[in-house]
Structure 1
Amino acid sequence: MSAVKQFYRLTNQLIELLEKSQTDRDQKIAQTESLLDQRETVMKGIFPPYTSEEAELGKELIQLDARLTRLLEADKDLIQKEIKGLQAKKESNAKYINPYQNLSTDGMFYDKRK
């Protein structure tokens, strides 16, 4: 199998994995990293001249790559939102436990005279 066909197959597998949201997130991330690593190694083996079939696959790959980029960005945004939510929850919990921890001393008057 040519490198372009392998790259096309791996790209389709990656898109399918990202579109189905039934799998566990940790498992999904591990599989995504594995497929991205495989794509990277196959990409290094793609050299011209291309056959007419490989040229057609290349045109399709451009569209698939844009779709893959959107899916990866969406997953990244989702993970970032969850991280921000967890940080806000952690901060809120800390404020609940000790509400006087971060009191500002701005505007406090200190008299040096006795």
Structure 2
Amino acid sequence: MGVVRDVWLVTKQLLEAVMAPWPPEEREARMAVVDELLRRREALLPKLRPPYSEEEQELGCEIIVWNQEIEARLRRVCEEIRRDLRMAGAKRQATVCYAHPYEQPLSFDGMFYDKRR
């Protein structure tokens, strides 16, 4: 039962790391922790070999439920990061527009070229 128990423990640590709040200033450190836990679990998964005992099957069911929660939370964190990147890009663009208002290309709305001779 050693390998299944090890996978269960790493998955539990991963769940705890993911479910904790992710303030923007701590994201990089949290991502490093999550990445390390994912690597450890990835190294353990190929070592799993059936047949499994009753207790190992229960642990496996718990791992599957936790994986769904982990994936959902990681998707939310990914969306938060994407949103923050879009906001940073919009802020940067607005700052450039205000700092150098006449350096932006002119708008060509409403231009008409007559191709007749």
TM-score (norm 2): 0.83
In the alignment, which of 102, 105, 108 is matched to residue 105 of structure 2? Answer: 102
- Which residues of 2 match residues 7-22 of structure 1 at below 5 A? 7-21=7-21
Does 1:73 pair with 2:75? yes
- Structure 1 residue 22 displacement after superposition: 6.6
Which consecutive unaligned segments of at least 5 residues does structure 1 have?
Answer: none
Whole-angstrom CA distance in 2 between matches of 1:62 and 1:35: 16
Whole-angstrom CA distance in 1 between matches of 2:36 and 2:88: 27
CA RMSD of aligned residues (A): 2.1
Match of 1:5 in 2: 5
- What amino acid is aligned across from residue 105 of structure 1 in structure 2? F
> Against the structure 1 CA distance between its residues 108 and 89, is the aligned structure 2 distance closer, same or farther, given a 3 Å change threshold?
same
- Structure 1 residue 20 displacement after superposition: 1.7
- What amino acid is aligned across from residue 49 of structure 1 in structure 2? P
Match of 2:52 in 1: 50
Whole-angstrom CA distance in 2 between matches of 1:102 and 1:8: 58
Task: State the aligned residue count.
Answer: 111
- What amino acid is aligned across from residue 90 of structure 2 in structure 1? A
Whole-angstrom CA distance in 2 between matches of 1:22 and 1:90: 24
The percent identity for this pair of structures is 34
- Structure 1 residue 65 displacement after superposition: 0.8
- Structure 1 residue 8 displacement after superposition: 0.9
